[in-house]
Amino acid sequence: MESKCDESAEAASNDSEAFVEWRPLLFVVLIISGCSICYELIISAISTYLLGNSVLQYSVTIGLYMASMGLGAYLSKYVVNHLFRRLTQIELLVGLLGGTSSLLLFTSHLYLRNYVIFMYAEVIAIGVLVGAEIPILTRIVEADKRRLHVTLSSIFSVDYLGGLLGSIAFPLLLLPQLGFFATSFFCGLVNVVAATIILWRYARRIDGVRSLRIVAICLLASMATGIALSQNISRIIEGGLYRDTVILSEQTPYQKIVLTKRDDDLRLFLDGNIQFCSKDEYRYHEALVQIPMAMTPSHENVLVLGGGDGLAAREILKHDDVKSITVVDIDPEITRLCAEQETIARLNGGALTDKRVRVLNEDAKQFLAESHDAYNVVIIDLPDPNNEALNQLYTGAFYRLVAAHLTEGGTLVTQSTSPYYAREAFWCIHDTMEKEGLCVLPYHLQVPSFGDWGFNVASRGKLNRDVHVEVNTKYLTDEIVGAMFEFGKDEAHPDDIVTNTMNRPVLVEYYDKALTSWG
């Protein structure tokens, strides 16, 4: 009986000693896994920002990254000696590549012909290195025979936990608070910290530890400097991405906001896509708002979905019978900026602070699902459907939900991309609305900063194309309005258009196809 007690006590003692000995390595595993997930997400998010098609970018990045990790795990078998030294070298290299990943990716997009090839090379390089780390670390622990299974189970448990922490921290904390550049530098810094822990805790096991410590200190200083200078780096890079001077750049939980200016030309970009140019925005917003307003006998209550810049609200307020405008935009930073920034507020005529305007920072779909109000006119001024999150706001189910909030004789209108540059996408939106039993009329006009741009106006009853604009405009005339409903042969409805649903987001495919074909 005493022998069994002694064996249990000895086993417990061995467990405790093994845990104490390898506890720093468990923390290193946590860092490796968390940063690894962040690098995947950084590369995927930047590629989506630059190229669009989020499903493709995330799928390819994650798939290639996982395969590269498998290759790294396989190649790790050739690392036979000096395991602590090799692990530290790999960790330092991962910190360097991962920490500079945002800078390298944006720079390659600016100066290289084929960004995708460079992006793939970045994914493979980091993936191979990360894939080699855990097998090498496992072999280090394997040399200790004291309750090996306990230590190994702890390693893999911490590995999965680190992945969870990284996947939560990136979208909720790192990217919104730090932006792309500071986030990647921060993750690189954390990776180098992991290497530093190994260098100091297991120094006696590492050959040439002094030189590695010098490298680690230099990388720590470089990553810290990168974090401190990330805003300056961002301004320089964005100066290359945008033709005009960047006067504001802000990453919110929802999107990247960039404001540029050259002379009296102010431009707003969301996730790299232009939202308005102050020189010609009136053409777009007059067409968006005044056509459905002219088709609707009453304008007492108007709903704007999107339109956080206040420019659609400005056009609506030209009508004296408007009593209430509800603007629903998910991002509070956009509505705050466009209400407070002097040039934009002057451009929208202070519409967002008008007593008749109510601004709600909510998801448009959720707002409609929970609201019981009815509106004479609904203006849908949302970003282009370049990802699956936005796609749901262009589906039949969404248009059906919008139509349920129309008063008798009410109209709705949505911006619908370009019937020339994205012809299939434009008519997909038209057909999707029509499939919901709505009477739909397509129209378009030239906006210099956008090109040929299209809209679809719809109602549950019949619509009359013979409309008269009765408010003051800078561009629209009755003659121009009549011509806006005509389409040339190269903009006409193509054959075999599939309607858009959440289950099959063909609109995103049509949109991405147009982006690819026009470069």
The residues carrying an active-site annotation are 381
Handedness of CA 380, 382, 386, 390 (dihedral sign): negative
For 79, the 3-state DSSP assignment is coil
Question: Which alpha helices (DSSP H) does 277-341 contain, by range?
Answer: 281-295, 311-316, 332-340
DSSP E strands in 154-298: the ranges are 245-251, 256-262, 265-270, 273-277
Q: Report the candidate in 284, 276, 362, 287 with the shortest Cα–Cα distance to residue 327.
A: 362
Count of beta carbons in the 10 Å neighbourhood of residue 154 = 18
Q: For the chain, how many residues are written?
A: 519
Q: How far is CA 321 from the centre of its chain?
A: 39
DSSP E strands in 151-295: the ranges are 245-251, 256-262, 265-270, 273-277
| Pairing mode of beta strands 245-251, 256-262 | antiparallel
Helix axes 209-228, 230-241, angle to 10 degrees: 60
Q: Report the candidate in 345, 121, 364 with the shortest Cα–Cα distance to residue 254.
A: 364
| Ramachandran area for residue 12 (φ above 0: left; ψ -120 to 50: alpha; else beta) | alpha
DSSP code per residue over 3-20: HHHHHHHHHHHHHHHHHH
Give 289's Cβ-side CA count (13 Å radius). 29
User: Alpha carbon of 8 to those of 12, 23, 78, 485: distances in Å?
Assistant: 6, 22, 38, 86
Question: 174 is written with which tokens?
Answer: 């790192």
For 41, the 3-state DSSP assignment is helix
The rounded distance, in Å, linking the Cα atoms of 481 and 288 is: 12
The rounded distance, in Å, linking the Cα atoms of 62 and 150 is: 30
Q: Which residues contact 465 (CB under 8 A, 6 or more apart)?
A: 441, 482, 485
Secondary structure letter of residue 318 according to DSSP: T
Q: What are phi and psi of 109, to 5 degrees?
A: -65, -35
Q: Report the candidate in 233, 234, 278 with the shortest Cα–Cα distance to residue 257.
A: 234
Secondary structure letter of residue 170 according to DSSP: I
394 contacts 415 by C-beta, under 8 angstroms: no
